[in-house]
Amino acid sequence: MTVTDTHRAIEAVWRIESARIIAGLARIVRDVGLAEEFAQDALVAALEQWPESGVPDNPGAWLMATAKHRAIDLWRRNKLLERKHGELGRELEAQQESAVADLDTAIDDDIGDDLLRLVFISCHPILSTEARVALTLRLLGGLTTDEIARAFLVPEPTVAQRIVRAKRTLAEKHVPFEVPRRPELAARLSSVLEVIYLIFNEGYWMRPALCEDALRLGRILAELVPEEPEVHGLVALMEIQASRSRARIGPLGEPILLLDQDRARWDQLLIRRGLAALERAEELGAALGPYALQAAIAACHARARTAGETDWRRIATLYEALAQLMPSPIVELNRAVALAMAFGPAAGLELVDALTSEPSLKTYHLLPSVRGDFLAKLGRTDEARAEFERAAALTRNARERELLLDRARACAGGQPQLARRFD
């Protein structure tokens, strides 16, 4: 195996094992920053030794053992107290020897609870949304600071500062390394799901690797908290949405609308996984939450062999339920599309007209786009053309702008198009 091959193997192992190693260490040292340092020490050791010695038969165990011994050595030399600037104080000093013994044995215990603790602390609401996302990708996704920066198109120093500040905040606020108890659990879990879905959405169009990271995190979380229906709902939503990735972009980079997509290109394995996750959420018996409801909507599209077979009445009903749980102008706009597809454009237009005064939608290009669709189908082509032109002026996507201008020109030529819906 060449040095390059060995480095690739190390990178792959680190992606898989880093969260488990950091979680196991953090349970003992009670500081995610220190835990990551010990894990990074093990990574450096692997980069130095494996090109000569070869990749071990169990590389994850090698990294864990090396990180563990680095932590023990540091603790025994009292450098931990020095680096923590006295924060641990006399209590830790008195418990030092027993802690070393704990570290040597307890770190090899079942890792599931540790990973769950790491998930909750990385997504703690005390941190900003940007910090939660960066820290989660760093600690649980195994991404480097540079990879996170490139994924979110921000400078690397910015991401590095977010991560450093997040770790410092967690340490200064003495955030416990534990799974929150009820009733705090629901709010904390909501924060975790929000972070994972933000990561997924960031990669939805242009950075598919982020979608894969979010899916992996969602699947891990579903294994760790199998009795939480909204976790399965989020996994179902991401699986089904990800199934369309190959079909939503045309050869020139143009967005392809959901109803125009080649459904033969949808990934059936991801759809089956998504439907199974949705079924699991429904089997748990609780009323469906926002993520599960959105997954149920996505499932209606996934089950339809053609666009014409889509159950729009059920989709409209699901959007109504979603609007009650999560009132939002965007939800109402999507409900308007479903109503138009189920009961005709006049039904959708009535709801859209009520949204035109909504301040948050003033610069949202899909509002005039949807309204233009309804007007065109009703034969009000002059009004439709004006709406398409306004939508084109608001969008920042050049391909989408051209598509909207094409619709405007079609209206001018007396060829109104049917109502559409963006994926």
> How far apart (Å, rounded) are the C-alpha atoms in residues 31 and 120?
14
- Residue 66 structural domain: 1-109
**What's the average model confidence in pLDDT over 262-267?**
96
Q: Which residue has the tokens 């065109």?
A: 376
Q: What are the phi and psi torsion angles at 19 (to 5°)?
A: -60, -40
Reported as a single tens digit per residue, the pLDDT across 274-329 is 999 999 999 998 889 999 999 999 999 999 999 999 999 999 999 999 999 999 99
Structure tokens at 2: 């060449």
Asked whether residue 338 is assigned to any structural domain, the reply reads: no
Q: Of 53, 84, 109, at which residue does a domain stop?
A: 109
Reported as a single tens digit per residue, the pLDDT across 350-383 is 999 999 999 999 999 999 999 999 999 999 999 9
pLDDT at 307: 93
Asked whether residue 176 is assigned to any structural domain, the reply reads: yes
Asked whether residue 158 is assigned to any structural domain, the reply reads: yes
Asked whether residue 74 is assigned to any structural domain, the reply reads: yes
In this predicted model, which residue has the larger pLDDT, 191 or 249? 191
What CATH number has the domain bearing residue 166?
1.10.10
Asked whether residue 357 is assigned to any structural domain, the reply reads: no
Q: Which of 24-38, 56-70, 73-87, 196-210 comes out lowest in average pLDDT? A: 73-87
Q: How far is CA 262 from CA 243, 250, 253, 284, 306, in A?
A: 12, 10, 15, 34, 9
Q: Of 200, 230, 256, at which residue does a domain stop?
A: 200
